[in-house]
């Protein structure tokens, strides 16, 4: 996809998948607005790609409102919003999950996406349409007992994409999620070599960025694309609900 002359917004752009995607969108010609809460690293990425940096706590709805107001006054209309920011907490015992733990991971991983989507839609409409891509995970499809909050929040991403896409399609806005398997980011805590030695397959963040470009160019919407190392992204085939066709059998 050629993004020349277009504006892209990337949350969580200071590291990992966010950095890789910001770079890739800039390579495709986009003017990229990088956002994060790690200001030094985020500004460095923006400077590297000739973009702009804005501090943004995605869990703060008022911060999204302020950013959207700023962008509405910008002559460069928004064409792509990549809602990527997310965290892991590694909590496996629900009885030990504090209110603070729960609100933090749901605030960033789930509320942050909803707030971002809500803020982006009017901006994309003003541009005549565009794209929203959300970073999901294999945990959007399957249990992750080692991190309950992460799995719960990423399942919610899949539901949001599938439910909101039809309405947005009527406004010429596509909505998809890229859902990679294990990626070599800071989430691994510096243990990539040890994990790969133990047999775990780990992809680079740049593979996710290439998959993002393929998804944007796919013409599809409402899909959660599963991504494995060395393979093209493919829409995940959700199971049919048992008895869903009961009306036709009456």
Q: Which two tokens stand for residue 87?
A: 């965290």
pLDDT, tens digit, 9 for 90 and up, residues 122-133: 999 999 999 999
For residue range 162-219, list pLDDT tens digits in order.
Answer: 999 999 999 999 999 999 988 877 666 777 677 668 877 788 999 999 999 999 999 9
- Residue 231 has phi, psi (to 5 degrees) of -125, 160
Q: According to the model, what pLDDT value does residue 137 have?
A: 94
Q: What is the pLDDT of residues 142-151, one digit of tens each?
A: 999 999 999 9
The rounded mean pLDDT for the chain is: 92
Q: Do residues 171 and 119 make contact, with C-beta atoms less than 8 angstroms apart?
A: no
Annotated catalytic, 246?
no
How confident is the model at residue 250, as a pLDDT? 42
Q: What are 202's two structure tokens? A: 């780990």
Which is catalytic among the residues 25, 53, 102, 150?
A: 150
For the chain, what are the domain ranges? 7-249
Q: Judging by DSSP bridges, how do beta strands 224-227 and 173-180 pair with one another?
A: parallel
Starting at the edge strand found earlier in the chain, the sheet holding 234-235 runs: 52-55, 31-36, 7-11, 78-83, 130-135, 173-180, 224-227, 234-235
Superfamily of structural domain 7-249? NAD(P)-binding Rossmann-like Domain (3.40.50.720)
Q: What confidence tens digit (pLDDT) does each residue in 17-45 have?
A: 999 999 999 999 999 999 999 999 999 99
pLDDT (tens digit per residue) in 78-95 = 999 999 999 988 889 999
Query: What whole-number distance in Å separates Cα of residue 137 and Cα of residue 180?
Result: 5
pTM over 0.75, yes/no: yes
Q: 74 pLDDT exceeds 80? A: no
Q: Name 225's bridge partners.
A: 178, 235
Per-residue model confidence as pLDDT tens digits over 97-123: 999 999 999 999 999 999 999 999 999
């Amino acid at each position: 996809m050629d993004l020349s002359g277009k504006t892209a917004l990337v949350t969580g752009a200071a590291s990992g998948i966010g950095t890789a995607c910001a770079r890739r969108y800039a390579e495709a010609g986009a003017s990229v607005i990088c956002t994060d809460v790690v200001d030094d690293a985020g500004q460095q990425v923006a400077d590297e790609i000739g973009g702009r940096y804005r501090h943004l706590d995605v869990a703060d709805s008022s911060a999204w409102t302020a950013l959207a107001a700023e962008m509405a006054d910008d002559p460069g209309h928004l064409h792509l919003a990549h809602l990527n920011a997310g965290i892991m907490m590694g909590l496996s015992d629900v009885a030990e999950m504090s209110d603070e733990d729960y609100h933090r991971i749901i605030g960033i991983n789930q509320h942050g996406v909803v707030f971002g989507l809500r803020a982006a839609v009017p901006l994309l409409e003003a541009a005549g349409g565009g794209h929203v891509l959300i970073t999901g995970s294999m945990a959007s499809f399957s249990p992750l007992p080692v991190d309950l909050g992460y799995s719960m929040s990423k399942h919610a991403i899949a539901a949001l994409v599938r439910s909101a896409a039809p309405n947005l399609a009527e406004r010429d806005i596509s909505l998809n999620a890229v859902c990679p398997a294990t990626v070599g980011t800071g989430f691994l805590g510096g243990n990539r070599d040890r994990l790969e030695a133990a047999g775990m397959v780990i992809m680079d963040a740049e593979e996710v960025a290439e998959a993002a470009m393929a998804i944007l160019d796919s013409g599809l919407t409402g899909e959660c694309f599963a991504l494995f190392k060395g393979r093209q992204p493919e829409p995940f085939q959700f199971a049919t609900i048992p008895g869903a066709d009961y009306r036709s059998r009456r």
